[in-house]
Amino acid sequence: MKLLFVTDPLETFKIYKDTTFAMMREAQKRGHTVAACEPQDLMWQRGAAVTGHVRDILLTGEATDWFEVRQSRIVALKEFDAVVMRKDPPFDSEFFYATHLLEQAERDGARVFNKPRALRDHPEKLAIMEFPQFIGPTLVTRDEADIKRFHAEHRDIILKPLDGMGGMGIFRVGPDGLNLGSITETLNRHGAQSLMVQKFLPEIVAGDKRVLVIGGKPVPFSLARIPQGGEVRGNLAAGGKGVAQPLSTRDRFIAESLGPVLNARGLLLVGLDVIGDSLTEINVTSPTCFQEIFDQTGFDVAAMFIDALAQAVDN
């Protein structure tokens, strides 16, 4: 296959843990060709197919200077067998516009994974609200009175922005309600912006589990991101410790229930976040943890992904 990865700058990759790098490495190992570009490199001119300023690359196997550019060129995205959208959050206006360009590329004949429309239709925090049977008490609002009522009912709550990533902007407010008003004003920008409020799940001490689902099927191991040093956040970006572990019965049930539904919508790769028995997020933009799971368990997540990608391209 000829593969194009739309991603962050290659020069910023930390290849010892980067999931996109693991995908590229597995693809090259199988003899597939690898090219890369950034969202800003996409172009759509009147009457023409969507193109990209892409770099055809070869992975060198070195820890530094890990890739070399074989050539740079402008090429229509439909010329690739698959376009893999791997731009990290946040889902801002430029990400949004990129999905529109990629959707036009689909109309040109390109195969894009995850599907651009599905990326737009599944904001990573809001998406859980479609599946209330799997989530804990949750409220989405911009109204301070709604938040106060939720706190009065549940006493110990988590507040977070809908567009946050890596644990950014997450606050816990306990039964005393200390600073609830100021936290609400910060997150809702004095009523101008919606936020998510959830009942605090004490099971976070055992980790915020990332359950990967590929081609509708769960990876048999999750990565539990365990908070460290009194933190309430387990995110690796916030200093959490990643511990790979087999899926629990509940993890597997959630993944096997949602996997086929999300895959049918064009989401080839999904990262479900589970605390205890409760689904807390559905990550669709650029789910990670491939290498951490492989390093600790030997299960080759990247191989499972390239298998699923090849199958999706053939269908």
Catalytic residues: 125, 160, 210, 225, 233, 273, 281, 283
Three-state SS across 108-129?
HCCCEECCHHHHHHCCCCHHHH
Residue 167: the pLDDT is 74
pLDDT exceeds cutoff 90 at 220? yes
Q: What is the CA radius of gyration of the chain?
A: 20
pLDDT exceeds cutoff 80 at 217? yes
Q: How many helices (H) and strands (E) does the chain have?
A: 8, 17
Beta carbons of 151 and 139 less than 8 angstroms apart: no
Residue 7: the pLDDT is 98
Query: What mean pLDDT comes out for the span 123-142?
Result: 96
Q: Quote the crossing angle between the two packed helices 180-188 and 144-154, to the nearest 10°.
A: 140
Residue 305: the pLDDT is 98
Q: Give the least confident one: 67-81, 84-98, 133-147, 243-257.
A: 84-98
The structure's pTM equals 0.94
Sorted by where each starts, the structural domains of the chain and their CATH numbers stand as: 2-117 (3.40.50.20), 137-200 (3.30.1490.20), 203-314 (3.30.470.20)
CA 9 – CA 72 distance, rounded (Å): 15
Residue 90: the pLDDT is 82
- Maximum alpha-carbon separation in the chain: 61
pLDDT over 70, % of the chain = 98
pLDDT over 90, % of the chain = 90
> Scanning the structure block, which residue is given the tokens 């609400």?
184
* CA 131 to the chain's CA centroid: 18
pLDDT exceeds cutoff 70 at 59? yes
With 0-12 CB in 10 A as exposed, 13-18 as middle and 19+ as buried, what is 2? middle
What ranges in the chain are assigned the alpha helix state H? 19-29, 93-108, 116-121, 144-154, 180-188, 249-264, 290-297, 301-314
Query: What mean pLDDT comes out for the span 19-23?
Result: 98
Residue 238: the pLDDT is 65
Residue 302: the pLDDT is 98
- What mean pLDDT, rounded, does the chain reach? 95
CA 83 – CA 34 distance, rounded (Å): 10
pLDDT tens-digit series, residues 229-259: 767 766 777 678 999 999 999 999 999 999 9
Q: Can the peptide bond before residue 90 be classed as cis, meaning omega within 30 degrees of 0?
A: yes
Number of residues assigned to the chain: 315
CA 217 – CA 201 distance, rounded (Å): 26
